[in-house]
Amino acid sequence: MSERILDDDARMRRFVDKFMAAVPHLAALGIGFVRSGPDWAELKLPYAAHLVAYPETGVIASGAIFSLMDSAAGFSVFTRMGRFEPHATLDLRCDYLRPAKAGETVFGRAECYKMTRKLAFVRGIAHDGDPEHPVAHITGTFMLTGQS
Amino acid sequence: MTALPPYAVMLGIHAGADGCWVMPFSPHLIGSPGRLHGGAVAGLMELVAHLAVRAALDDAAVVLKPVTVTVDYLREGAMADTFARAHINRLGRRVANVRVEAWQTDAEKPIAAARLNIILERP
């Protein structure tokens, strides 16, 4: 097993900044890194006009939250493995519990709660300020696509 | 038809032939190198489901609220145009159940399949 490059905070931050800058769709949505732990990651999606799905209320698209949570879940797999191992989403279910408040940043926190040789199982929530009142809940599965 | 919302414009989505919708390839849709971001494909499929239900309703005052969305990723999304089509399994009074398929070069080889329950709030 290769070195766990994601255990050191400063190195983690450098790798994450480099990694996220290289993902064009994250840049297009404005998704950024917040923090991470041994098996979880939190990303943020700041409110922006181009994310709006309902112009009459200013509520952002659920699809943008899906992207946020897919990315946070993918990151939680990286943190659990301790390195950027290639993987692909096999499936992801998102339950939208309520609309995100217009104007608020949405935070997505996902946890990789189980990992096997080929699969990673994830769950998480999205919230717009209060994690006790999430806007969405996700559960999903990733396949590790590396050769190792 | 009504104008597409800003998020759909950001993804570049427009109507295609035979009732399907197209998300033309653009560099800002890329996730990992050489592949579309799964969230962009999910965004396309959610939008297409919403548009299909909206088109099937005769009352413009009904409010649509996606409540559960499940996406199966079947093949990796290449740096190519992506097409999607929705099939309404059931359009009830309170819920619409919709499945969506997304494909690129071959409609027989979908890259993703989605299943959605959309709550209908009638006035």
**Block means of pLDDT (10 residues each) for chain B, length 123 residues?**
86 94 97 94 97 94 96 97 98 97 97 98 93
CB neighbourhood size of B99 (10 A) = 16
pTM: 0.93
- Number of folded domains that form chain B: 1
pLDDT of residue A1: 45
- Contact yes or no for B37 and A68 at CB 8 A: no
Contacts of B73 (CB under 8 A, 6+ apart): A88, A89, A90, A91, A92, B38, B41, B111, B112
ipTM score for this prediction = 0.93
Q: What is the pLDDT of residue B2?
A: 60
Q: Could you tell me if A110 lies within 8 Å of chain B, comparing CB atoms? A: no
Token reading at A124: 């998480």
Looking at this protein, which amino acid is placed at residue A49?
A
Supply φ then ψ for residue A105, to 5 degrees: -70, 135
**Percentage of chain A exceeding pLDDT 70:** 93
- Structural domain span for residue B56: 6-121
Instruction: Give the CATH number of the domain where residue B96 resides.
Output: 3.10.129.10
| Residues pairing with B121 in the sheet | B63
Domain membership of residue B73 (yes or no) is yes
Interface check for B61 against chain A (CB to CB < 8 A): the answer is no
Q: Which residue of A has its CA nearest to B7?
A: A51
Report the CATH superfamily, name and number, of domain A9-144. Answer: Hotdog Thioesterase (3.10.129.10)
Residue B1 within any structural domain of the chain: no
Which residues of chain A lie closer than 8 angstroms to B36, CB-CB?
A: 25
Tokens of B107: 């409609």
Nearest chain B residue to A139, by CA = B70
Partner B, chain A 34-93, Cβ-Cβ below 8 Å: 49-55, 60-64, 66-68, 70-71, 86, 88-93
A51 vs B44: CB contact, 8 Å cut-off?
no
Distance CA A63, CA A51 (A): 9
Instruction: Encode pLDDT of A12-66 as tens digits.
Output: 777 777 878 889 999 999 999 999 999 999 999 999 999 999 888 999 999 999 9
List C-alpha distances in Å: A47 to A22, A69, A118, B7, B77.
21, 15, 35, 12, 27
pLDDT per residue over A75-121, tens digit each?
999 999 988 888 899 999 999 999 999 999 999 999 999 999 999 99
Q: Tell me, what's the pLDDT at A7?
A: 63
In this structure, is residue B13 part of a structural domain? Answer: yes
- Any idea which residue has 């990286």 for tokens? A78
Can you say how many angstroms the Cα of residue A34 is from the centroid of all Cα atoms in its chain? 10
